Amino acid sequence: MINIRKTRLMTKLALYETGEGREDIRLSKYYKTDYVRLHILKTILAVTVGYLLILLMVALYKSEYLIAQAVNLDYKAIGVTVLVIYVVLVTVYVVGAIIGYSIQYDLSRGKLTRYFRILKIMKKIYREEEGSGTAAGKEEESNG
């Protein structure tokens, strides 16, 4: 016979797993530090790619000047400026990523606690079912 309470709990679990919980469950595989570190790496990579593309576009925009002044250019000063801007940009994004992804991780943990609580109740129900199943079997044997 269908256990109504179990069905209700399983529905709640399934709703969470297919909805917002999908991302939370994926996050639960990581430790917080690992998760934040992974996203810092991804952020640095994305910022680097974006910055290189901007540099490419600026270089193309200034290409006439760059070609004309190729010999006279102060490459050291340009290099330092480009590097300083890059470092500042990466620092801002990394700090933002640390804060943002930490908050995201903590929020997902909060939601997962409820999910695990329902899982524990499910476990208990299964144990009860097993217990009552064996007890009923024994009763039948003794009646028979």
Partner 1 sequence: MVKILELRSLLRTYYQKFQMAVDPLIKFVAALVTFLLINKAIGYNEKLEKTVVVLLVSLLCAFTPSSILVFLAMAFVILHIASASPFMAMFVALIFVVLYCFFLRFAPQYGYVVVAIPILSTLHMPYLVPILMGLVANPITMLPSACGVVVYYMLQIVKEHTVVSDSFALDDILPFYTEVFEALLACKDILIVSGVFAVVIIAVYIVRRQKMEYAAELAILAGAVVNVFGFLICDLRFGSAVTLGSMILGTLLSAVAAFVALFFKRVLDYTAVENVQFEDDDYYYYVKAVPKIEIGIAQRKVEHINEKDERTEEEEDEDDYEEVLDEETGEVIFRPRSGNRAGGQVRRQKGGKSSGYFYRKMQEEKQKIREEEQQRARAEMRAAKRYESGEEQYLGEDDLLRSEQKRFYQAPHEEGGEPGDE
Question: Binding residues for partner 1, per CB under 8 A?
Answer: 1-3, 5-7, 10-11, 13-15, 18-19, 46-47, 49-50, 53-54, 56-57, 60-61, 63-64, 96, 100, 117, 120-121, 124-125, 128, 131-132
As measured in angstroms, the least distance from the Cβ of 76 to partner 1 is 25
User: Between residues 10 and 25, which has the closer beta carbon with respect to partner 1?
Assistant: 10
By CB atoms closer than 10 A (0-12, 13-18, 19+), residue 101 is: buried
> Distance of alpha carbon 144 from its chain centroid, rounded?
58
As measured in angstroms, the least distance from the Cβ of 29 to partner 1 is 20
The CA distance from 14 to 25, in Å, is: 12
DSSP annotation string for 91-122: HHHHHHHHHHHHHHHHHHHHHHHHHHHHHHHH
8 A C-beta contact, residue 37 and residue 107: no
As measured in angstroms, the least distance from the Cβ of 49 to partner 1 is 5
User: Between residues 4 and 76, which has the closer beta carbon with respect to partner 1?
Assistant: 4
As measured in angstroms, the least distance from the Cβ of 79 to partner 1 is 21
